[in-house]
Amino acid sequence: MTDKINIGTLISGGGTNLQAIIDACLENSIDANIVFTGSDNPGVKGLERAQKAGIDTFVVDYSNIVKSCKKNGIKDRDLPEDFNLEEILSKQKLFASGASPEQTAFFLQSRAIAEKQLLDKILSYDMDLLVLAGFMRVLTPYFIDRVNTEPKCYKIMNIHPALLPSFPGTDGYGDTFAYGCKIGGCTVHYIDYGEDTGPIIGQKAFEIKDSDTLDDIKKKGLEKEWELYPQCIQQFAESL
C-alpha cells in the first residue's frame, strides 16, 4: 500500500470526473486525498459535489478578470510582481510566431493576473499533484513553472476528450464526431507549455457506430474518462 498523496483539483463545470475521483478516494481504490477544488466559474455543480464531500473550495472568476482587463487595460501594477513577459513569451507554445504580438501579450498578461489568484490559493496547500478535471482554461508558463518547481518533474495532469495527438482543443468529442471517426477515446496527460501536448499517461478508446449521435459519443467517452482518471492518479501515486 502506497502512502496517500494529496491532490488538488480544478474544475469549470459539472464535475463528473471530479465525482469519479472523489468516489475512488472514498472507496480507497486510489491512494489519494483531495485537498481542494478550485473553479474558474462560480456556481457550478462541481463545486457542490466537492462541498458535499467536505472538500475546501474556492473560485477565481476568470471571466470577470478578463472583462476588467479588456475594459480598463492592463497596467504594470496589475501584474504579479514576479511576472516577466519576455520570459513567458520565450517559453510559451500556445501562440504561433505569426500571431498578433498585442493579442498574445494581452492573453498572457490577463491569464497571469488570474493565475496569480489561483496560485495564492493553491500554494497554501500541501499538494503532490494538481488534477485538472474539466478545467477549461489554458495555463501559461507563469502558472506551470510555479507548480512544477522541480526540473523534469510534472505535477499537473489533465484529461482530454479525444485520443491525442488527434483533436487537441476544446471540443474533442465534437471534432471526433465531425471527422467521422470509427474509434473515439480520451487521454490523460501531463501539462506542458503547449495546448494538449504534454506526455501521455493513459488512454481509453471506444467504438463509434454509424448510428451514434454526438451525445452517444460524449456518453461513451465520459464513462471511459471516469475509469481512466483514477487509474492514472493511482499510477502517479505508485511512482512516488
Span of 10-18, 74-82, 105-113, 141-149 interacting with ligand GRF by CB under 6 A: 10-18
CA pair distance 177, 183, nearest whole angstrom: 10
Q: Does residue 68 bind ligand GRF (CB under 6 A)?
A: no
Residue window 91-130: x/- pattern of binding to ligand GRF, with contact defined by CB under 6 A: ----------------------------------------
CA pair distance 202, 132, nearest whole angstrom: 15
- What is the footprint of ligand GRF within residues 38-57 (CB under 6 A)? 46
Q: Does residue 185 bind ligand GRF (CB under 6 A)?
A: no
In the block, residue with C-alpha cell 468516489: 23
Amino acid at 3: D
160 is catalytic: yes
Q: Does residue 161 bind ligand GRF (CB under 6 A)?
A: yes
Q: Does residue 159 bind ligand GRF (CB under 6 A)?
A: yes
Closer of 22 and 113 to ligand GRF (Cβ) = 22
Helices 101-122, 62-72: axis angle to 10 degrees equals: 140
Query: What is the per-residue burial (b if ≥16 Cβ within 10 Å, else e) of 172-201?
Result: bbbbbbeeebeebbbbbbbbbbebbbbeeb
Span of 14-22, 78-86, 176-184, 197-205 interacting with ligand GRF by CB under 6 A: 14-22
Closer of 110 and 176 to ligand GRF (Cβ) = 176
Considering 160, 189, 204, 224, which one is annotated as catalytic? 160
Per CB under 6 A, residues contacting ligand GRF are 11, 13-17, 46, 133-134, 159-161, 222, 225
Report the catalytic residues: 160
